[in-house]
A and B are shown apart, each in its own frame.
Chain A
Amino acid sequence: MWEFLQTYGLRLVDGALVTCAQFALATLVACSAALVAGLGRLSALWPLRTLATLYIEIFRGTSLLVQLYWIFFVLPLFGVSLPKFEAGFLSVGLNVGAYGAEIVRGAITAVPRGQWEAGYALSMSPARRMRRIILPQALVLMLPPWGNLLIELLKGTALVALIAVPDLMFVAKQINGATFRSAEAFGAALLIYYLLARLLVTPAMRGLERVMARRLGRA
């Protein structure tokens, strides 16, 4: 085990860094897509509502792997050629964003009616009311489910290895193919994924929850 890590440790770290980059970029895509689609579903304009519903149902109704292959292999036929790295985080982000949109929508509708009425009574514009009153309170409500969703996102990034993005899973597969030391290669990868989830994602979300609760004076 020790000399395995000595020989392949650096490559695993390289892979883990690519996974982290994919995770960060996909999170960015997922958060923006979720916010836009979540607000879109609550919009008063029906074309926006339909568009948001379409996006959410299509991306939640099919598999991430199908979406990934479709974006990487089929989208070029429509003239949109994405390099594998971009195709990877974009598909993962859009997939998770569709689940996130439902969380955003749920959290916004869970903000008490009185808050909406108070914003109206102060003659705030709808946009201003949403930004200053509703969204900050919805954010506190949606953070815990987002924590779980981000773990799912981290797990989802493992699939980008299948379009040859050199992430942690890809490196593990390569090492396995070269040495047939499967237990060590995949075991190390599993362990690194677990550590990323347990020591990076979960504590970060907990911290964020605390900060947001304090800023709203609820801690």
Chain B
Amino acid sequence: MRFDWNWQFAFEILPRLLRATVNTLIAAGVGYALAMVLGLIFALALRSPWRLPRTLLREVLEFIRSTPLVVQIFFIFYVGPQVGITLSPWVAGMIAIGLHYSAYLAEVYRAGIEAVPRGQWEACRALNMTTRDSYFRIVLPQALPHAIPGMGNYLVGIFKDTPMLSVIGVTELMQAANSIGSETYRFLEPYTLVGVIFLALSLPTAGLVRLGERRLRRKLGL
């Protein structure tokens, strides 16, 4: 076969790919929301005063971070039924991606919390605030600006990792391109268009993240 880009074919499959893009965005959004919540829980648990659970959790997060996401996706999807829980590809995929990125976000939050000056904690203490109030009303709001650049980077990262969900049959962008390829035996247009769609979405997002980071730095006087 030789190189022959077919514009007509490209326009024919474009609507189908764009519909799948919506699914990709939903997957990234849901996965990210899950990762943000889980990450916060892990970050707070990492600061718990009990030593054993803390060390254990740190090891587990390290494990999640240093093993491939695809294998984790397979693990969650296939091991569920073995223990009697059947998960749909979507649910399994969201859990895997959310869990994977929560391990990264926990680190981002931790760094943000540690960037809050000690004096703020002491002030909470002096005002007789409970630990819970100190976290939610004083420390976390101040930690957030420090965490936002890292959070933005992982948002782009999670978006670029969604194609891995195609391995368990989630109908996102990559899966759509795969099925078009196997139906028509044309791979040039679908795979190239997928690449272009990814570029068109991730470059502006990354640019926005960088811009926001610079704005924030100026605002904080860094």
A residues adjacent to B (C-beta < 8 A): 57-58, 60-67, 69-70, 73-74, 76-79, 151, 154-159, 161-162, 169, 172-173, 176, 180-183, 186-187, 189-190, 193-194, 197-198
**Contact in complex: B75, A63 (CB < 8 Å):** no
Query: Which residue on A lies nearest to B62, using beta carbons?
Result: A198
**Contact in complex: A73, B75 (CB < 8 Å):** no
A169 touches which of B63, B68, B194, B206 (Cβ 8 Å): B68
A62 touches which of B4, B71, B160 (Cβ 8 Å): B160
Counting chain A CB atoms within 10 Å of each CB, which of B3, B81, B195 scores highest? B195
B66 within 8 A of A: yes
**Contact in complex: A158, B68 (CB < 8 Å):** yes
**Contact in complex: A186, B75 (CB < 8 Å):** yes
> For A62, what are the chain B residues with a Cβ–Cβ distance below 8 Å?
160, 194-195, 198-199, 202
Q: Please report the C-alpha to C-alpha distance between residue A65 and residue B67 in the assembled complex, in whole angstroms.
A: 17
| Shortest distance from the beta carbon of A144 to any chain B beta carbon, whole Å | 15
A182 touches which of B66, B75, B191 (Cβ 8 Å): B75
Number of interface residues of B (CB under 8 A): 42
Q: Please report the C-alpha to C-alpha distance between residue A69 and residue B166 in the assembled complex, in whole angstroms.
A: 13
B residues adjacent to A (C-beta < 8 A): 1-4, 62-63, 65-72, 74-75, 78-79, 81-83, 160-164, 166-167, 174, 177, 181, 187-188, 191-192, 194-195, 198-199, 202-203, 206
**Contact in complex: A65, B203 (CB < 8 Å):** no
> For A155, what are the chain B residues with a Cβ–Cβ distance below 8 Å?
66-69
**Interface of chain B, helix or strand or loop or mixed?**
helix
| Shortest distance from the beta carbon of A35 to any chain B beta carbon, whole Å | 23
Query: Which residue on A lies nearest to B81, using beta carbons?
Result: A182
> For A70, what are the chain B residues with a Cβ–Cβ distance below 8 Å?
191-192, 195
Interchain residue pairs with CB less than 8 A apart (22)? A61-B199, A63-B161, A64-B160, A66-B191, A66-B195, A69-B177, A69-B187, A70-B191, A74-B187, A74-B192, A77-B4, A79-B3, A172-B74, A173-B74, A182-B75, A182-B81, A190-B67, A193-B67, A193-B68, A194-B67, A197-B66, A198-B62
